[in-house]
Chain A
Amino acid sequence: MKQAIATGEEIKRLIPQREPMLMIDAFYEATDTEADTGVTVSEDSLLVDEGMLSEAGLVEHIAQSASAFAGYKALMQDSTASDGTKSRHCEERSNPDFQVLRHCEERSNPEKRHKGINTATPPLGLIGEVRKCRISFLPRIGDALLTHIRIISEVLGVTLIEAVTKVGDNISAECQMKIYIKPAS
């Protein structure tokens, strides 16, 4: 099992979506091109209908996973840009807790060091295109979704990804998606 880099409220540092549209609750360790995310289907979700996450909810979860990946990469990039050297902690991808993110953010924004966790504005991601999307079944309330994202290409703020979302060993959804990423202002 991969280690979570961010869970719960910490996710809000990676994406600008908020309740009741927030559709991820965990971001796991990532490489430059691949990442894993998760969400547990909550009965409070706007995108749950008759006890099941809707197709739209699945697609939104994948889109937010890709957006969070962009947010994570933006934090990592910031942390290397400030002094030209990569933070040791940022490279320690196996670091088990949120210290990784906090440390990278502090390096990139030293003046914001003690202002709490919501100082950085995450990039805004919007869906440009969904294609080859197959939905096999709708997850139920309480199901834990795990999504694997792979970046196919990144050109001028347009990121093409492919994603597979599973509940346990069963594939619930897979698709390709084009996401427009607007960098943090």
Chain B
Amino acid sequence: MKLIDRYYKIKSRNGEVFSVSLLPDFVGYKGHFPNNPVAPGICNIQMIKELAENIVGKRLFLSNIAKCRFLNIINPLYISDLQINISVVQGENSYTVEATVKDAENKTCIEFKGNLTPMP
């Protein structure tokens, strides 16, 4: 399933910068972890993929994660506003996507670099 409007909501977009809100009632928090919600790293990877799809306007397949670093834990009880800087560069067979996710205090939570290919 898509995570948009379940895990996060896009508040605004300004070029390559998205402002999103995390939704504290995301059903995944029931299991990640019981009574101790932590934003799942992979949900943020999925969010970056969905934002890249938003930019290029087509479905994408995440074929390669060169590197994705999780630098700070995102606790949805305390952190709801995130800013995502995302660059999408079209190559011969794929888009190279680089993204940085920061919290409201400008602390870097995630650095992502990967390749996405159009869904056949």
A108-145 with Cβ < 8 A to chain B: 124, 126-136, 138
Interface of A is mostly: mixed
Q: Mark A50-62, 1 if CB is under 8 A from B, else 0.
A: 0000111101100
Q: How far is the CA of A153 from the CA of B61 in the complex (A)?
A: 31
Interface of B is mostly: mixed
Closest B residue to A23 by beta carbon equals: B42
- The tally of residues in B whose CB lies under 8 Å from a CB in A reads 29
With beta carbons under 8 angstroms apart, the residue of B2, B30, B38 that contacts A20 is B30
Q: Is the CB of B45 within 8 A of A131?
A: no
Please give, as numbers and ranges, the residues of chain B lying within 8 Å of A16 by CB-CB distance.
33-34
A-B pair number, CB within 8 angstroms: 87
With beta carbons under 8 angstroms apart, the residue of A49, A127, A128, A134 that contacts B42 is A127
Closest B residue to A16 by beta carbon equals: B33
Q: Take A55-B61, A60-B42 as given contacts and tell me if A129 and B28 are in contact as well, using a CB distance cutoff of 8 Å.
A: no
- The tally of residues in A whose CB lies under 8 Å from a CB in B reads 32
A34-64 with Cβ < 8 A to chain B: 46-49, 54-57, 59-60, 63
Q: Take A21-B31, A46-B28, A48-B1 as given contacts and tell me if A63 and B42 are in contact as well, using a CB distance cutoff of 8 Å.
A: yes
* Residues of B participating in the A interface, judged by any CB pair closer than 8 Å: 1-2, 27-28, 30-34, 38, 40-43, 45-46, 49, 61-70, 73, 114
